[in-house]
A and B are shown apart, each in its own frame.
Chain A
Amino acid sequence: MFSSSNQQEFWVTKHLEMKRILKNFFSRLQIYPLAGFVILAALGIYPALSGSVLHVEILLLAAIYAIFAMSWDILTGYTNEVNFGFAFFIGGAGYLSGACNVFLGWPPILSIPASAVAAGIAGILIGYLTLRLKGPYFAMATLAFAGILFKLAFILYKITGGEEGISGLQSLTAGPITDFYLVWIVMVGIYILLILYSRSKHGTILKAIRADEDVAQSSGINTAYYKVEAFALSGFLAGVGGALYAHAQMHIGPVMLSGSLSVIVVLLAMIGGMGTIVGPLLGGILLSFLNEALRIVEAYRIVIYTGVLIVFIYLAPQGLINLELIKQSPRLKRFFFGKEEVHGSSFRS
């Protein structure tokens, strides 16, 4: 009798403890925006219901662009230094992966991580070289790096195939649906990684650098390290996206290195809302759908598309996610931005 009540008490405390941990966990979870998971889940469920190959292809493209926009955002959205040469990482990794696959016979499972790591290392190098630059200088230096790679793709035509690019890459998986799910899993992984990173000590420090680099430095933060780290992460993830894209299309051409791709990525992320990760995810997906929808007027597609992007930037320079409509409604705000953190918790590393 005595022992049984003791045991009961034990279980009650155990249960309460579990409840506390779970509650804690869920309240921690609330700081992450729900919107991102809703978008990702919707994107994941759709192909299972529809099964239309065309739609799956469109979703795949949207997912890839969302990866580009999100990985651009972790550097630029959080430090406000505009990277105008993002095609450097996308196309560079794409070409590297394609060359490894076609000439060396590496399977995609090896060539994609290898080229992504190479893009990350390139990110460290460029980040280190452009560390002191700010504003327009930084933007144009990154643009110049991408321009050099673009020119090299034509000069080294024996390897890169010049205008034609490299064709005949091994496809990711057997069919478009499995291709899509692979990209989707990678996208979800990247989203979770970035959202955790941006809510961690590292993200807070990047925001501090954005607010005032000198003050951050005099508070004893090694700002150079964090900027290079963000650059490397951004480059690595763009490399993952670029290499996946090359294999999904089974082709890589100079378009993936061109300035217009860099600009499109910047626009997608800006229209979504810089510095939020969810915004670029949303922007990347919605605008890719718009791009595909415009295929009914194929001849005018790019003109209308860039025109619409300009209108978006003009009407909502802070991005869709930062519209007054969302900021003023507490529910929408919580849906898109997550619960506001209690001060101090973000400094847990």
Chain B
Amino acid sequence: MDIIIIGLVRGALYSLIAVGFVLVFSVGGILNLAHGTFYMLGAYFTFIFYSLIFHSAKGSVLIFSLILAVLSVTALACLIFHFLLRRKIESLVYTMVITLALALFVSEIMSLIFGVSGTSVPSLIEGSVSISGIKIIKHQLIFLPITAIILPLLWLFLKRTKIGQSIDAVSQNRIGSLLMGVDVEKATLITSGLSAALAALAGALVAPVSSVVPEMWLFPLIKAFAIAILGGMGSLPGSIIASFLLGYAEVITSFLIDEQLTEMVSLAVIVFVLIFKPAGILGYKTS
């Protein structure tokens, strides 16, 4: 029972992170190695707004600073895309190296300002609830409804609105949509903002239950990539399924084998899926 619930919570969190990563890869062709950084910044900005700027203990202020954090990370991601990535978006090596260098840079800045020991943010809901004898922190349960709202909204946005359809079109065929008069630059810009917003939201939500440290960008990035590969690069439903698979795989490993091996699961997933089935479970693009 505890495995089911904790796995579900993890899967929900991972799907928030991974969907944005997959989206920006399929639309812009950018392997955004700064994705984990947006996640980290989501957590840090929530802390900055809540504890350093507003100084208030009210729950509404926390929600407000969470929203502000997500918005500011989105703005930052758009700026990064506009000034650093846009000019050489077709060069894979350039985008990978510059986003990874950025990730390193931001994490060093954060450890310089806030120290390596980390900070923390209070929960939206205090306390814990016990379900059939297992204690679960209430805050973690918020992930489920939020993910359940966000992901269908994202789906509707991509399929029903004009701008969403243009994003979808660019992800299917960049040159084709350019020829059809789709504003590819704008679609890519919106996608990178959107993907950063999702990562920042995940980071801001996770901030109360895990310590906010400068190194927290690395493992979400590796997990996002593991999920993207397992689900098949460029497939959103695949990545959501893969998020839950990875969440359960990790929880099962940590319960049945060894806590230490949890982080190894995603690395092993990357290696094995790439070697034996590079297309992933729902992938339609292979390279």
CB of B63, distance to nearest CB on chain A (Å): 32
Judge whether B267 and A263 touch: CB under 8 Å. Answer: no
Across the interface, B229 reaches (CB within 8 A) one of A140, A151, A266, namely: A140
Interface: B249 (CB within 8 A): no
Interface string of A245-277 (1 = CB under 8 A from B): 000000000000001100100110010001000
Please state if B270 and A140 are interface contacts (CB–CB under 8 Å).
yes
A189→B97 CA distance, assembly (Å): 29
Q: Is the CB of B101 within 8 A of A129?
A: no
State the Cβ distance, A39 to closest chain B Cβ, in Å.
24
The chain A residue with its CB closest to the CB of B94 is A317
Which residue of chain B is the closest to A155 with respect to CB atoms? B260
- Residue from the list B84, B94, B104, B222 in contact with A306, Cβ < 8 A: B104
Per-position binary interface string of chain A over residues 50-92, scored 1 when its CB falls under 8 Å from any chain B CB and 0 otherwise: 0000000000000000000000000000001010100000000
Q: How many residues of B contact A (CB 8 A)?
A: 37
| Interface pair A134/B287, CB less than 8 Å apart | yes
Are A306's CB and B260's CB within 8 A? no
Chain A residues within CB distance 8 Å of chain B: 80, 82, 84, 129-130, 132-137, 139-141, 143-145, 147-148, 151, 154-155, 259-260, 263, 266-267, 270, 274, 299-300, 302-303, 306-307, 309-310, 313-314, 317
Q: Which residues of B contact A151 (CB under 8 A)?
A: 263-264, 267
Q: Are B92 and A135 in contact (CB under 8 A)?
A: yes
Chain B 7-33 interface mask (CB, 8 Å, partner A; 1/0): 000000000000000000100000100
Query: B260 to A267, Cβ gap below 8 A?
Result: no
**Are B218 and A259 in contact, CB atoms less than 8 angstroms apart?**
yes
CB distance from A202 to the nearest CB of B (A): 22
Q: A130-B275, A151-B267, A259-B218 are in contact. List 6 more A-B contacts (CB 8 A).
A: A151-B263, A274-B93, A306-B105, A306-B108, A310-B105, A317-B91
Nearest opposing residue in chain B for A135, CB measure: B92
A310 CB contacts on chain B under 8 angstroms = 98, 101-102, 105
- Docked Cα-Cα span, A263 to B229, in Å, equals 22
Taking a contact as CB atoms closer than 8 A, the residue among A84, A134, A154, A309 that contacts B96 in the complex is A84
B94, B100, B112, most chain A CB atoms within 10 A: B100
Which residues does chain B contribute within 8 Å of A134, judged by CB atoms? 287
Which residue of A has the minimal Cβ distance to B219? Answer: A147
Per-residue contact bits, chain B 83-123, to A (CB 8 Å; 1 contact, 0 not):
01000100111101110111011001100100000000000
CA gap between A84 and B274 in the complex, in Å: 15
Report which of A144, A274, A300 forms a contact with B112, defined as CB distance below 8 A.
Answer: A300
Q: Are A129 and B275 in contact (CB under 8 A)?
A: yes
Closest chain B CB from A197 CB (angstroms): 22
Q: How far is the CA of A327 from the CA of B227 in the complex (A)?
A: 43
User: Can you list 5 A-B pairs, Cβ within 8 angstroms, ordered by A?
Assistant: A82-B96, A144-B222, A154-B260, A270-B93, A306-B108
Which residue, B263, B271, B278, has most C-beta atoms of chain A within 10 A? Answer: B271
Are B91's CB and A314's CB within 8 A? no
Chain A residues within an 8 Å CB radius of B260: 154-155
Which residues on A sit within 8 Å (CB–CB) of B154? none
Chain A residue contacts of B25, Cβ below 8 A = 136
Docked CA distance A139–B92 (Å): 10
CA distance A349 to B104 in the complex (A): 42
